[in-house]
């Protein structure tokens, strides 16, 4: 049975551990980028010339209810990116995925409460922003199409929804009719 865990198993790829500080309710892990050179995603050129050094704070998934922050001592080449952290991001990819999953399942307020219980600091508006940024899934082929008309407000605003009847999936609302005629609209 293995008793020790190597640091490369705990940290995002390309980062080396410098120090660890555990305080009440918070753990700070100071890491540095071990890359000797970097390739620019825009131009594709490799660069080994260091432009400057800077400290970047990135939030990570909590550890036993304690929020974790990575303090990255990064060297800025003329073009440098960390693979596990999106450009200009303040959170790791894993934490972003966890926040999207929480937001999709629970929404804003309930998701923010769950995130706080898990040790993740996230406002309800931030969770809702992440939900809106998630791309819609592909609908695929529709074999049996159901059309349903409904009223947003009786007598004034009507809408139509299309339903894929084979796998019982709903497609987004395609249109709405707003008039003041007071008649029921059968189709748009």
Same domain, 105 and 152: no
How many CA atoms lie within 13 Å of 104's alpha carbon, on the beta-carbon side? 10
What predicted TM-score, i.e. pTM, was given to this entire model? 0.48
Residue range(s) defining the domain that contains residue 149: 139-188
The DSSP code sequence of 77-135 is ESS---TTB-TT-SBBHHHHHHHHHHHHHH-SHHHHHHHHHHT----HHHHHHHHHHSP
Count up the domains in the chain and report the number.
2
Residue 88 is predicted with a pLDDT of: 61
Q: Which of 111, 133, 155 is the last residue of a domain?
A: 133
Residue 4 falls inside a structural domain: no
Same domain, 33 and 118: yes
Residue 70 falls inside a structural domain: yes
Residue 7 falls inside a structural domain: no
Same domain, 118 and 174: no
Q: Which of 104, 133, 162 is the last residue of a domain?
A: 133
Residue 158 falls inside a structural domain: yes
Q: How does pLDDT run along the chain (188 residues), one tens digit per residue?
A: 556 666 666 777 777 888 888 888 888 888 887 777 777 665 566 777 777 778 888 888 888 888 888 888 877 666 555 555 655 667 888 888 899 999 999 988 999 999 998 888 889 999 999 999 998 877 777 778 888 888 888 878 888 888 777 755 544 444 444 444 444 444 43
């Amino acid at each position: 049975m293995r008793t020790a865990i190597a640091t490369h198993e705990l940290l995002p790829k390309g980062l080396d551990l410098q120090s660890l500080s555990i305080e009440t309710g918070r753990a700070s892990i100071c890491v540095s980028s071990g890359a000797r050179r970097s390739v620019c995603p825009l131009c594709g050129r490799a660069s080994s010339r260091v432009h400057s050094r800077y400290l970047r704070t990135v939030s990570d998934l909590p550890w036993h209810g304690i929020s974790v922050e990575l303090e990255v001592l990064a060297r800025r080449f003329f073009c440098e990116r960390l693979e596990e952290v999106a450009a200009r991001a303040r959170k790791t990819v894993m934490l972003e995925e966890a926040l999207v999953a929480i937001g999709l399942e629970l929404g804003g307020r309930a998701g923010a409460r769950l995130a706080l219980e898990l040790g993740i600091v996230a406002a309800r508006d931030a969770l809702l922003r992440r939900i809106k940024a998630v791309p819609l899934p592909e609908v695929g082929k529709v074999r049996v199409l159901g059309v349903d008309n409904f009223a947003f407000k009786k007598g004034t605003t009507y809408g139509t929804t299309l339903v894929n009847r084979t796998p019982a999936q709903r497609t987004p609302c395609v249109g709405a009719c707003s008039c003041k005629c007071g008649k029921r609209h059968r189709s748009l």
